[in-house]
Structure 1
Amino acid sequence: MKEKYWVPAIERADRVLRLIGEFPNQLRLIELSKRLEMNKSSLFSLLNTLETLKWVTKGEGDTYSLGPALAGIGAAYFQQFNIVQSFYKEAARSVHKINEHIQLGILEEGDVIYLGKMEGDSRVRLVTDPGMRFPAYASAIGKMQLTKFSEAELKKILQEPLKKKTEFTISDIDTLYENLQEAKKNGYAIENQEASLGFHCVAAPVYNFENKMIASVSFTMMTNSWEQKREAAKEEILLLASRLSQLAGYAGSQSKEPNK
């Protein structure tokens, strides 16, 4: 990217820091120079400046790692990060594309607590609003976050039989666990009329800088819209979740759950 007020020195520093972050304590000046295709003399001056500022540190064998100053900057960023504010900013783009309702929710024990909602043009009212609790096993947002538990853990968190919200609600943990494994494999969860008749949802996970799932976001729509928009909604909710994860510091892939 080249813009009118672009500062090449900052771009070079960014490239250096990203490469060192990817290969900590592995690369010396000569390796960095070759991989980045930078002049050794210029790179030496840049590294010396970064080391003085404690953005990088030089270890054994003259290899580099990220320095403590970056930890302080990162901590300051996460102190200002607010997932609800980020949701309302980023969800607007997704609602504009799909024109259906989007919600944000977190898991607390066996329930979802809804934190945010942005509506499309549909006049249909959802059964959940920000601040409300709803059984996690009957919602796509909840099921997505339940994927992080083993079957034994689920049996401790949830009580059988699971109370049915509709005739389609899963009512036993064995079946729920199988459903969750499919969601975990796919990287998204689907709920078909399990919370309310005539409604369908697709949810994707939001991760933080510790690779932990901290929330989920979902599209909700009626059957006629679902039949037309299912694939587009799935793709867009994954993109929204990815944007929120990046804002929360997550650096992995959203295609599947990261290694714990």
Structure 2
Amino acid sequence: MSKKKTGGWLESVKTIVYAALIAIGIRTVAFEPFNIPSGSMIPTLLVGDYLFVSKYSYGYSRHSMPFSPNLFSGRIWGTTPERGDVAVFKLPRDTSQDYIKRIIGLPGDIVQVRRGILHLNGQPLRRESLGPFVAEGDGPRMTVQQYREFLPGGRSFLIIEQSDDGPLDNTPEFRVPDGHVFAMGDNRDNSLDSRVPSAVGMIPIENLVGRAEFIFFSVDGSARWWEVWGWPFAIRYSRLLSAVR
């Protein structure tokens, strides 16, 4: 009887260990979940969104693994991201922190913002006004302007602006060095990104964790964890399983 109990206990431990190893493997090579704690990517991503990031999109670096062990440098099967990708990366000055922004500049590009208009390699990017947008979930609720911005090649996405004369609406020229990318938040006046060298600056491609693919869950924060009766009403059903563009 004692042997049976011991055997049963060992089998349970083995099952747990195998399950943990499989989960770590999937998280390392395939998909990793992330949640959005701030509003720097509004309107594309909202506070309370939960999304999956594909780890294979740009190849693998030490940051693809939990705790970023210093096992090797560079990327294995690495590819350069495309302009417009929404990517998770390790903050260059503190790799324990994950940031998510949109890739705007690639190695060799010159990026500048003038009066709120993004310029890439000396050319202003076209943007179309879509009217007012109510931004909430990250500080006071406010009405801002929403635009559709177009990258070279026609890829487009939504951004919001409080004004075209804020601290981040007029910048010097930034030349993206080899092995780096330049990223910005879609909430252009409320994002610490590559426009702020002391906070983020240029992002080494090695620091890229993966590309944001789709939102699998989203809550608006109206129900606290113990308010079980409010959970169904706090879910943003329209955002479930929506692609990140």
Larger Cα-atom Rg: 1
TM-score by length of 1: 0.23
Higher strand share: 2
